[in-house]
Chains A and B, each alone.
Chain A
Amino acid sequence: MKATLVLGLIGSLGTLVFLFEMLRRRHLREKYAVLWGTVALCSLLITIFPGILTWLADAAGVEVPSNLLFFLASLLLLLTSIQHSVELGRLEERTRTLAEETALLRLELESRGRTTGEAGPDG
């Protein structure tokens, strides 16, 4: 019991301190920090009051409370990974559009430079 308390405290408080430091150095944006901050607070809560977990496991019909914790934790990780993949896909699409636009603008600029004085690059 002692070990889980110590590990839980180190884990959750460590995460909170780390998040704070990342925010302070502007390496992490608030919208992402909120999620992980909530997770860290929840695990802190469960560390201090393990009764919550036992009660939840009982209510859900899970025999070993830690299994419920593992299940929820992996579910959370899975969902956030999917969310990040979605976000990554959107960013890739935006990067692609930007690359195309940049290339076209560069072409436009160069052709204008070549035809200075004339009506324009295109009739």
Chain B
Amino acid sequence: MPTASPASPRVLVVMPAWNEEESVGATVRSLRAAQPGIDVLVVDDGSSDGTAAEAARAGAIVCPLPFNLGVGGAMRAGYRYAVQHGYDVVAQVDADGQHDGAYLPELIAALDSADVVVGARFAGRGDYQVGFVRGLAMRLLAAVLSRLAGTRLTDVTSGFRVINRRALHIFATHYPAEYLGDTVESLVIALRTGCTVRQVPVEMRPRAGGRASQTPVRAAIYLARAVIALGLALVRRWPTTLEHPPKEHV
């Protein structure tokens, strides 16, 4: 069981951003306005536009990756930063503005009884439209992970999540870079290394830059990849203890 966190845990928001110059500034600003006590680290995932500059102007700490690694790589860099700087709680928030920073206190509070808290759609708040096949894939993933977690999870591909120190040390070492690895597989890793996963229902805003391309073929490919990613995550071997935990340097 996770231990009670100190009175005011040090919170870091990690925001992976790839060519998000239009939205990253506003997202960082609204987050900092809503939650003044927290630090925001924007991991610029090899953007070719002004993402890093915009994020820095908005007051974020910017970690520029030399080339695009995908969300998994960006997040692991962020987790490593958090370990090195001794943060207690790390939140993952998308740069496109669809995650509402106002939910963060609620997510962080839920860490009292869990190591990983997922801000989930389809859980009563807001209404979302997804295609049939894509919806099927998401429900399948949710069903399997709910069983594994022993609690109801409705939105396992959500990139809005909060983790405590215990999960942080695992993710700073093992965070998959593969497609769907950063969402689905990371939850499997957390569960299999003994972490508790919970969800908190959230409402998400429509993304600032719209590009949700939905064709039946794409949806079918998504389903297939989801099944493969989940299947592999379930049979892969993961260390139950960490041999080389990243070091904190004070």
Contacts and interface: CB of A to CB of B under 8 A. Distances in A.
A42 B73 CA distance: 44
Given A96-B177, A100-B80, A122-B85, A106 B64 contact: yes
Interface string B46-67: 0000000000000001111111
Given A96-B177, A122-B85, A103 B66 contact: yes
29 contacts: A96-B73, A96-B177, A99-B65, A99-B66, A99-B69, A99-B73, A99-B77, A100-B69, A100-B73, A100-B76, A100-B77, A100-B80, A102-B66, A103-B43, A103-B63, A103-B64, A103-B65, A103-B66, A103-B77, A104-B63, A104-B77, A104-B81, A106-B63, A106-B64, A107-B61, A107-B62, A107-B63, A111-B61, A122-B86
Contacts of B250: 122
Interface of B: 43, 61-67, 69, 73, 76-77, 80-81, 84-86, 177, 250
| Most A CB within 10 A of own CB, among B73, B76, B77, B84 | B77
B73 A107 contact: no
B100 to A, nearest CB: 27
Contacts of A122: 85-86, 250
Interface residues of A, number: 12
Interface in A87-103: 93, 96, 99-103
Contact of B80 (A93, A104, A106, A111): A104
A96 B173 CA distance: 12
Interface string A36-72: 0000000000000000000000000000000000000
A7 B97 CA distance: 65
Given A96-B69, A100-B65, A106-B63, 6 more contacts: A99-B67, A99-B69, A99-B73, A100-B73, A107-B61, A111-B61
Nearest to A98: B66
Interface majority SS (helix, strand, loop, mixed), chain B: mixed
Contacts of B66: 99, 102-103
B181 to A, nearest CB: 12
A1 to B, nearest CB: 50
Contacts of A93: 177
Contacts of B63: 103-104, 106-107
Nearest to A108: B84
A86 to B, nearest CB: 15
Interface string A106-123: 110001000000000010
A55 B200 CA distance: 71
A103 to B, nearest CB: 5
Contacts of A106: 63-64
Nearest to A120: B250
A104 B84 contact: yes
A104 B43 CA distance: 10
Contacts of B84: 104
A104 B75 CA distance: 12
